[in-house]
Amino acid sequence: MPPHGLAHMRERKTPPRRTLISLLLCLVIAALTAYNTIGAAAATDEVRALWVRQTSLDSEESIRRMVASAATSGFNTLFVQIANEAAAAAQTFDPVAETITQAHTAGLRVHAWLDIARVAPTGELPFARDHVIYQHPEWLMVPRAIAAELLPVDVHNPDYLGRLVRWTRSNTDRIDGLYVSPAISEAASYLAEAVRDIVRRYPIDGVYLDHVRYPSADVDYGAKSIAAFRDFMRGQLPLAERQRIDSIQALDPFAYPNELAEQWRSFRRAQLTALVVRLRSTAKSVRPEALVSVAVTSDAESAERDNLQDWRTWAANEFVDALCPMVTGADVTGQLSQIRALAAGRPFWAGIGANRLSQRETIDGIGAARRAGAQGIVLFSYDSLISPPKGSDFLTGIGRGAFAGS
């Protein structure tokens, strides 16, 4: 309740001062409790969400059908992919704003689904020349395999980006697109401002951070990332050790990560964690009530070893509001039970690839997630679940089988 609301309360007979103070305190506490209950509803209710690709938002009518399908099937949350600026500019209306309006009218929450470190998927290079991959190719993670080859190439020479793209497309089993490095301060600031812009622009209920990871441990060997690590370590090393590595660097530009392999790994892991903290703080500074969730690799050891994604620390320190692991394979319960044990009490929402499952398998997966203690589920994805061979009845059947009566 706003402060001026209390000022307008008038009584014909003034009660004793202590009684009045008690009454005021009760009213304030009641108001705060009501506010917190509303704000916490998204965190305490079971999240029943759908990932919604931007291709499903091409008209007001398609948005209306999507929202109606989700609502009547028992879902309460939409993870809506935010289009890049060029795609958004090509549309005659704002699909995100329209989705939020229609979803809120139907009682659904909307979370902005944002790709963070991955700025361009493999095979989907942006056309707009003002895109970050063209404006700042020096921010892109460089695989170790071609780092020496790229080092002498001017980053603003088209050949630099061309070689990086060709390598990425030839190694789709190792990397799924172009990533910017969180170790580069300008890149981290760019990502934070992108999140700030989305949260300011739209009255969203949450932010889902996707691809907050390294695609593998053998990337980020670009000149600026190496320089950032070198500058950091020079302030930590004894003089003799620094001079030793500097002498090697005269012949080998990768001397610092090569000679200090474990510190190099820890440095990148710490930079990724710092980025998560910054993005959550940025979102909360604009919309304190918004929930910030993050996509994580379900196996914590694999996440830290292969993707430098230390989500156990993120959970233990409450750097995120919820974890969203994508669970695959037969042992869904086992995977989620491990996550629950390591999540330090943070909510976790099970990501289920329903696009590869039958209706029965999807319903069973939701049940397994509940038994493992998940506070919600997110199905991938709306567009794939209403298209052949599944069809429009697929979501309705999930609603009947998984959400009816609850």
Per the model's pLDDT, the better-predicted residue between 313 and 90 turns out to be 313
Q: Number of structural domains, the chain?
A: 2
Task: For residues 288 and 166, state if they share a domain.
Answer: yes
- Identify the three-state secondary structure at position 213: coil
The pLDDT of residue 123: 84
| pLDDT of 32 above 60 | no
- Beta-sheet pairing, 291-296 with 322-327: parallel
Task: For residues 123 and 198, state if they share a domain.
Answer: yes
Task: Count the neighbouring beta carbons within 10 Å of the beta carbon of residue 267.
Answer: 21
CA of 381: how far to CAs of 59, 178, 279, in Å? Answer: 18, 23, 25
The pLDDT of residue 93: 87
Task: For residues 20 and 98, state if they share a domain.
Answer: no
Task: For residues 307 and 242, state if they share a domain.
Answer: yes
Q: To the nearest whole percent, how much of the chain has pLDDT over 90?
A: 80
Phi and psi at residue 203, to the nearest 5° = -80, 65
The pLDDT of residue 371: 92
The pLDDT of residue 83: 67
Tokens describing residue 147: 């780092």
The pLDDT of residue 90: 57
The pLDDT of residue 30: 40
Mean pLDDT of the region 22-30: 37
pLDDT digits (tens, 9 = 90+) for 101-118: 999 999 999 999 999 999
With bands split at pLDDT 50, 70 and 90, how would you rate the model's confidence at 7?
Answer: very low
pLDDT digits (tens, 9 = 90+) for 268-300: 999 999 999 999 999 999 999 999 999 999 999
The pLDDT of residue 18: 37
Task: Say which DSSP state 288 is in.
Answer: T
Task: For residues 279 and 137, state if they share a domain.
Answer: yes
Q: What is the pTM of this model?
A: 0.87
Domain that holds residue 75: 47-403
Please give the span between the terminal C-alpha atoms of the chain, in angstroms, as a whole number: 32
The pLDDT of residue 331: 78
| pLDDT of 16 above 90 | no
DSSP secondary structure letters along 21-89: HHHHHHHHHHHHHHHHHHHHHHHHSPEEEEEE-GGGGSSHHHHHHHHHHHHHTT--EEEEEPPPHHHHH
Distance CA 157, CA 176 (A): 23
| pLDDT of 36 above 90 | no
pLDDT digits (tens, 9 = 90+) for 303-348: 999 999 999 999 999 999 999 999 876 678 888 999 999 999 999 9
Are the C-beta atoms of 80 and 96 separated by less than 8 Å? yes
Distance CA 117, CA 213 (A): 7
Q: What is the CATH number of the domain that holds 157?
A: 3.20.20.80
Task: For residues 13 and 55, state if they share a domain.
Answer: no
Distance CA 406, CA 403 (A): 6
The pLDDT of residue 91: 65
The pLDDT of residue 43: 43
The number of CA neighbours under 13 Å toward the Cβ of 133 is 24
| pLDDT of 27 above 80 | no
Place of tokens 């760019």: 190
Task: For residues 298 and 377, state if they share a domain.
Answer: yes
| pLDDT of 31 above 80 | no
Query: Sign (positive/negative) of CA torsion 40, 41, 44, 48?
Result: negative
Mean pLDDT of the region 137-164: 97
- Beta-sheet pairing, 118-121 with 177-179: antiparallel
Mean pLDDT of the region 80-86: 73
Task: For residues 23 and 166, state if they share a domain.
Answer: no
The pLDDT of residue 376: 97
Q: Which residues, including other chains, have CB under 8 Å from residue 195's CB and lie 6 or more apart?
A: 114, 207, 279, 282, 283
pLDDT digits (tens, 9 = 90+) for 115-147: 999 999 988 888 889 999 999 999 999 999 999
The pLDDT of residue 74: 96
Are the C-beta atoms of 151 and 244 separated by less than 8 Å? no
The pLDDT of residue 404: 86
With bands split at pLDDT 50, 70 and 90, how would you rate the model's confidence at 29?
Answer: very low
Helix (H) or strand (E) holding 294: strand 291-296
pLDDT digits (tens, 9 = 90+) for 354-371: 999 999 999 999 999 999
Q: How confident is the prediction for the chain on average, in pLDDT?
A: 88
Task: For residues 8 and 142, state if they share a domain.
Answer: no
The pLDDT of residue 240: 97
Q: To the nearest whole percent, how much of the chain has pLDDT over 70?
A: 86
Place of tokens 């063209």: 134
pLDDT digits (tens, 9 = 90+) for 220-243: 999 999 999 999 999 999 999 999
pLDDT digits (tens, 9 = 90+) for 170-180: 999 999 999 99
Task: For residues 301 and 366, state if they share a domain.
Answer: yes
Mean pLDDT of the region 214-218: 97
Task: For residues 356 and 330, state if they share a domain.
Answer: yes
Task: For residues 103 and 9, state if they share a domain.
Answer: no
Distance CA 280, CA 1 (A): 27
CA 150 from centroid of its chain's CA atoms: 30
Tokens describing residue 162: 């061309």
